[in-house]
Amino acid sequence: MRRNRLLAATGVCLVLLAYATLAKLAGRPALMGHAETYWVIVIERFSAYALLGFLLSFLLPGRITGACVLVLIVAGFLEIFQALILGQDPHILDVLQKAAGGIVGVLLAQTILAFLPRPPS
């Protein structure tokens, strides 16, 4: 039952990230309105992908490399898809910010998993 909830939460997170990345500027969610400073946008990207990495890490316990690779693939492909849409502005720095957030989320979740008691086998 727990795995189904994690899978659903990860799917919802992926869909919301895809929407936020690929939507037109007027339709994008914004934390403080559309006149946000650059650092607010960086924090939004970082934290959104940290959540994705966190969820993937709990979905794939003990597979740090797999979770990190999935986060990198999602960040890369969403930026590539963003390049295909007219009026969008993909940047390599955006991918690096998203990847850093995702990897931090994976490492945070793996640290938490290391301290949780394991079920008896």
DSSP per position, 21-72: HHS-GGGS--SS-TT--HHHHHHHHHHHHHHHHHHHHHHSTT-HHHHHHHHH
- Given a cut of 80, is residue 115 above it in pLDDT? yes
pLDDT of residue 32: 63
- Given a cut of 80, is residue 121 above it in pLDDT? no
Per-residue pLDDT band for 105 (boundaries 50, 70, 90) equals very high
Question: pTM (2 decimals)?
Answer: 0.86
pLDDT of residue 71: 95
For residues 41 and 8, give the distance between their C-alpha atoms in angstroms, rounded to a whole number: 26
Q: Report percent pLDDT > 70 for the chain.
A: 89
**pLDDT, tens digit, 9 for 90 and up, residues 46-62:** 999 999 999 999 998 88
Q: Which residue type does 7 have? A: L
